[in-house]
Amino acid sequence: MSSQTGHGTVLITGASSGLGEEMARQFATLGYDLALCARRTDRLDALADEIRISKGRRVETTALDVTDSDAVALVFHEFANKFGTIDRVVVNAGIGKGAPLGTGRSEANLATAMTNFVGALAQAEAAVEIFRRQDRGHLVLISSMSALRGMRRSMTTYAATKAGLASLAEGLRSENIRGLDVSVIHPGYIRSEMNAHAEEKTRFMVDTETGVRAMVAAIEKRRAKAYVPTWPWVPIGIAIRVLPLRIVRRLT
């Protein structure tokens, strides 16, 4: 990616690690200023210092737990006031806890639902309010390939929350709000802290930088929906959507 200037400001939640951290680096390389938030401010501030020094971009940071809807609204509007405008919001914060339903671990599933969907809804509310006021903006919801069908066991709730994000995006697009672009990104297997426990030889797993490069490319094109990386996830996505559930079960 070649360094450019004057692109505007991108707000990224969950930016202290994994996909959010790497998106921050890559958007900075493209010439964006950054509004970054996460629960872990030590890592967030270290990332901000790195980007300021290596990319020469403006970076503002703040602590944020996306399950606190009042805090989400406050932080987003404070960022908008600091920068003047927010050009893009990437709803990225998420967790991967989960257990088979009915096995006595409901707290893991509830935590995932609260962070991945209720928290994302709060972020979308705050972002779209800002974009309505500006008459322009780009809302990006980071979903998952698991959103395409119901998943089993510990993935059931996680997949349902990511399907909810895709539905939220489609509903907003159908509203045709002036100046608003909405993208939903469905990453495949991209190495991150969330899946650090996965085996190194997991089929189709790509490193964080490669996977995020595909995500950023789709976001820059303002794609309404993108399966990334394109290979092999576009054909896999088509197959998952049409195959009988008994076959999908064997694949996941």
Q: Which residues are catalytic?
A: 158
Q: What CA–CA distances, in Å, run from 85 to 51, 73, 82, 93, 165?
A: 20, 15, 8, 21, 24
Tokens at residue 81, please?
A: 């006031």
The letter for the amino acid at 121 is L
Q: Is the omega angle on the peptide bond into residue 229 within 30 degrees of 0, that is, cis?
A: yes
HSE, side-chain direction, 13 A CA sphere, residue 251: 17
What is the 8-class DSSP label of residue 195?
Answer: G
Residues sharing a CB contact under 8 Å with residue 176, sequence separation 6 or more, in sequence order: none
Q: What is the 3-state composition of the chain as percent helix, strand, coil, each rounded to the nearest 5?
A: 55, 15, 30
Alpha helix (H) residue ranges in the chain? 18-29, 41-55, 69-83, 106-113, 119-134, 156-175, 208-220, 230-242, 245-251
